[in-house]
Amino acid sequence: MLARMRERYGLEIPWKTQIGEGLYLGHAFNITVNPSAEIGRNCNIHKGVTIGQENRGKRKGVPTIGDDVWIGVNATIVGSIKVGSDVLIAPGAYVNCEVPDHSIVLGNPCKVVPCKNATEGYINRRI
């Protein structure tokens, strides 16, 4: 099934990836997730997103993503970093830094902006 999904949609989310319930894939095309990454509950991932590994340096490893995270189109999240809960990652953002709870992440390099209820109105199919 994974091979079929990869061929048809460019969707690469290995079966052993730890994903909480409530995952929503908006326009699920060309999404790549490292098998060792961890994704929390009620996360929304949109097309072109990469959640990947850094192979060297101080952030060598894969991301851990908290609950209620909205990840916009073509965002890239890499390295051994923690993305907190209630975080909105803007389309096109390159995230390779720690992100605290209740934040919005913009741009490349990433800029973290504190924001209470950052994902209010964004999360689809919250469980």
DSSP string, 8-48: HH--B--TTSEE-TT-EEET--S-EE-TT-EE-TT-EEETT
- The CATH number that applies at residue 103 is 2.160.10.10
Q: In the annotation, is 27 catalytic?
A: yes
- Check residue 81 and give its pLDDT: 98
The band of 67, judged by pLDDT with boundaries at 50, 70 and 90, is: very high
Q: Is residue 120 part of a domain?
A: no
Average pLDDT value over all residues in the chain = 93
Each residue's pLDDT tens digit, 11-53: 888 888 999 999 999 888 899 999 999 999 999 999 999 999 9
Its domain, for residue 101, covers 2-114
Q: Which residue out of 14, 18, 27, 29 is catalytically annotated?
A: 27
Whether 127 is in a domain gets the answer: no
**105 within some domain:** yes
The answer as to whether 85 is a domain residue is yes
Amino acid 29: pLDDT: 86
In a domain, 8, yes or no: yes
Is 50 domain-assigned?
yes
Establish if 124 belongs to a structural domain.
no
State pTM to two decimals.
0.92
Is the model's pLDDT at 10 over the cut of 90?
Answer: no
23 assigned to some structural domain:
yes
Number of domains comprising the chain: 1
